[in-house]
Amino acid sequence: MAREFSRGEIRPHVEDWDTERALPEEIFQKLAELGFLGMRVPEAHGGLALDATTYLTALEALAWGDASVALSLSIHNGPVTRALLGWGTEAQQERWLPPLAAGEFLAAFALSERDAGSDPSSLAAEARPSGDGWILDGTKAWVTNGDRAGLLLVFARTGESRDGISAFLVPRETPGIEVVGRDRTLGLSASETVTLGLSEVFLPREAMLGAPGEGFEIAMDALTIGRLGIAAQSLGIAQAAFEHALDYSGEREQFGHSLHRFGGIEEKLAGMAIRIAQARALTLEVAAFVDGDGGPSEELPSSLRARTAMAKVAASEAAMWTADEAVQIYGGYGYMRDYPVERLMRDAKGTEIYEGANEVLRMLVARHTVRESAGAE
């Protein structure tokens, strides 16, 4: 269903969305009607309660249509939903999960800041106690869905150490929140990536997610699932680039033969197919691990962070490599905005950076591997 939706409702419009730097509200309405905004929400709260494998397969098919659409859904269904299920009170889940699943509004994940990207422990935004609530001040950068969202999951400092970070469920219409900038990105141009200013934002005490000081752990737990979503998005980009290259190499003739009959092109096509298959196999292996050992509301094992990091690195680099090869197969046409592969290459680059830059994720994998070899969990 996701693939057919992408073919009929997304692909015919992606070039216009890329040029206009915007996704229309009606695309999210249509996605909501089909249940795509509640894929990981339990049925008791109006969602589809999809297992991780089915969710990621659907997300890949939507990314095959457009990576910007898939990114918005990945943030909505991934880290924000995960945080609510893993750390939210019954009252918080009752308030937020049904409208999220119904698509009444999108969710956004506001963790990063200009000087706190790969190192969230250095956040500068702060939340200070005030009467029977909290007051938030600061700036949040690179917030996908930041202006369109109805719910913001905001992380702010409530103490001096890493343990002094807390998480807050913030309605977007709360006074004191404003968009102070819209970023112009290399790719994913239709995605809404904004900087949010928080000035004297008052929140009641029940807006805190988890306990004071648990924000860092909530963020890392949420990003563990979020990175699987980026892996799926990357696979959709890679598959689209591969299919475009395959079709073009069969239609384009040089020296009296179709391009795909030349050995150099055959090698490229084979390499693309192999890298995509490897990355997909790893991503689905990790998804099966999530389904078996860490359901949507269960504590995730620490080893899963390394596994999801592996999947995100493998899939994002497969996407970038495949898109680059697709541009090369198209030749001069591949460098033109009139053909889809240049956009896919621009989109692919982002997947190597957000939800954890690949260099940082390699450090995470290496450290886990060293601990594991030493017999420590």
Active-site amino acid positions: 355
Nearest to 172 by CA among 104, 234, 252, 270: 104
For residues 67-88, one letter each, b for 16 or more C-beta atoms within 10 angstroms of the residue's C-beta and e for the rest, the string is bbbbbbbbbbbbbbbbbbbbbb
Mapped to the 3 state alphabet, what secondary structure does the chain carry?
CHHHHHHHHHHHHHHHHHHHCCCCHHHHHHHHHCCHHHCCCCHHHCCCCCCHHHHHHHHHHHHHHCHHHHHHHHHHHHHHHHHHHHHCCHHHHHHHHHHHHHCCCCEEEECCECCECCCHHHCCCEEEEECCEEEEEEEEEEEECCCCCCEEEEEEECCCCHHHEEEEEEECCCCCEEEEEECCCCCCCCCCEEEEEEEEEEEEHHHEECCCCCHHHHHHHHHHHHHHHHHHHHHHHHHHHHHHHHHHHHHCEECCEEHHHCHHHHHHHHHHHHHHHHHHHHHHHHHHHHHHHCCCCCCCCCHHHHHHHHHHHHHHHHHHHHHHHHHHHHHHHHHCCCCHHHHHHHHHHHHCCCCCCHHHHHHHHHHHHHHHHCCCC
Q: How many residues appear in the chain?
A: 377
